[in-house]
Amino acid sequence: MKNHKWMGGKAVNSQAPNQEPPARNESFDIHKHRVFERITKWQDKLAYAPRYQGILDPYTGDPYCVAFRHGGFSFMRVLLRLAVVGHKDALRELLFYIYEAVEKLEALGESQPELVSEFAQVRADWPVMLCRHESSNKPVSSYLDRIQLGAKCQINADGANTAKYSLRTPINRFVWRKLKRMPFSILLMSDVPEIAAINLKALPALTKATAKIWADKVLMPYICAYYEDFSKVPAFQAALRRFGVRTRGQQRREIRKDVIRALQSLARNGVT
């Protein structure tokens, strides 16, 4: 049958005489397309999934919502890993998502600070939008005060007391990340005896005076059990380059010194 299109109410042959029909797109694989359709067909069910103020609510027990959340989480993990190893397309997409998320988060912090504060109080750092031409940090400081960043943080991060540490220092950043994730790490790695034996409830509050206890009872057992090769941890490089540090025991000794110093720097004064 000839290929026609309608123009002005008349059927017109759109294929020139002796012209070959368009070549089939060889890159299109019908089998792969059908597999893709089967995999994503569950997304159609989201049209009938629970809503929160008219918006799809993936935080319900609805099985399709659970699948939606799981798929999104898996994708973001892959996206982050690709960006870290230098995949430009992944990095471009990651930047887009981060920009949109931080912009909305900051707007929410301005309009409903009490809602954001619930999460900000236990954290030491917070994502914000920055412009190069804004030389003053007053707008950012005002925003962080409004959401009470660090008010109930495990370390000295409320802004009310002098803090001389920087989370941009590798060992400080490493120690803080491990501290805030330790409850989850203990639960997740309960099959590792050294990690499962860490009892956070039995420890005194983290202060400068108790930093050594936290190093010896929490962080060093975790570090020694989790990292078979200390040289693969960027935060440990300064310790490993010191004179006479060769064996694992010597490495552990130097890492412990840095961990204690980091804890003492991060911790609050006195009992909290």
In the chain, which ranges are E strands?
4-7, 10-13, 51-52, 55-56
Q: pLDDT, tens digit, for every residue of 125-156?
A: 999 998 888 766 788 889 999 999 999 999 99
User: Among all chains, which residue has been given the structure tokens 């990095």?
Assistant: 91
108 occurs within a structural domain: no
227 occurs within a structural domain: yes
3 occurs within a structural domain: no
71 occurs within a structural domain: no
For 18, the token pair is 């002796």
**In a 3-state reduction of DSSP, which class is residue 139?**
helix
pLDDT the model gives residue 6: 38
For 212, the token pair is 């050594």
Number of domains forming the structure of the chain? 1
- Given a cut of 90, is residue 255 above it in pLDDT? yes
115 occurs within a structural domain: no
Q: What is the mean pLDDT of the chain?
A: 88
247 occurs within a structural domain: yes
Question: How many whole angstroms separate alpha carbon 5 and alpha carbon 229?
Answer: 69
- Per the structure, the complete domain to which residue 243 belongs is given by 170-266
CA 60 to chain centre: 22
Q: Comparing 240 with 20, which gets the higher pLDDT?
A: 240
Question: How many whole angstroms separate alpha carbon 148 and alpha carbon 121?
Answer: 6
122 occurs within a structural domain: no
Question: How many whole angstroms separate alpha carbon 144 and alpha carbon 32?
Answer: 49
Question: How many whole angstroms separate alpha carbon 126 and alpha carbon 150?
Answer: 9
91 occurs within a structural domain: no
Question: How many whole angstroms separate alpha carbon 245 and alpha carbon 251?
Answer: 6
Task: Give the whole-number percent of the chain exceeding pLDDT 90.
Answer: 68
Q: pLDDT, tens digit, for every residue of 54-102?
A: 998 989 989 888 888 888 889 999 999 999 999 999 999 999 999 999 9
The answer to whether the CB of 244 falls within 8 A of the CB of 250 is yes
Q: Taking the model in full, what pTM does it have?
A: 0.75
Q: pLDDT, tens digit, for every residue of 190-237?
A: 999 999 999 999 999 999 999 999 999 999 999 999 999 999 999 999
Question: How many whole angstroms separate alpha carbon 207 and alpha carbon 164?
Answer: 15
pLDDT the model gives residue 250: 97
User: What type of residue sits at position 186?
Assistant: I
CA distances from 43 to 38, 47, 54, 102, 131 (A): 10, 8, 17, 27, 38
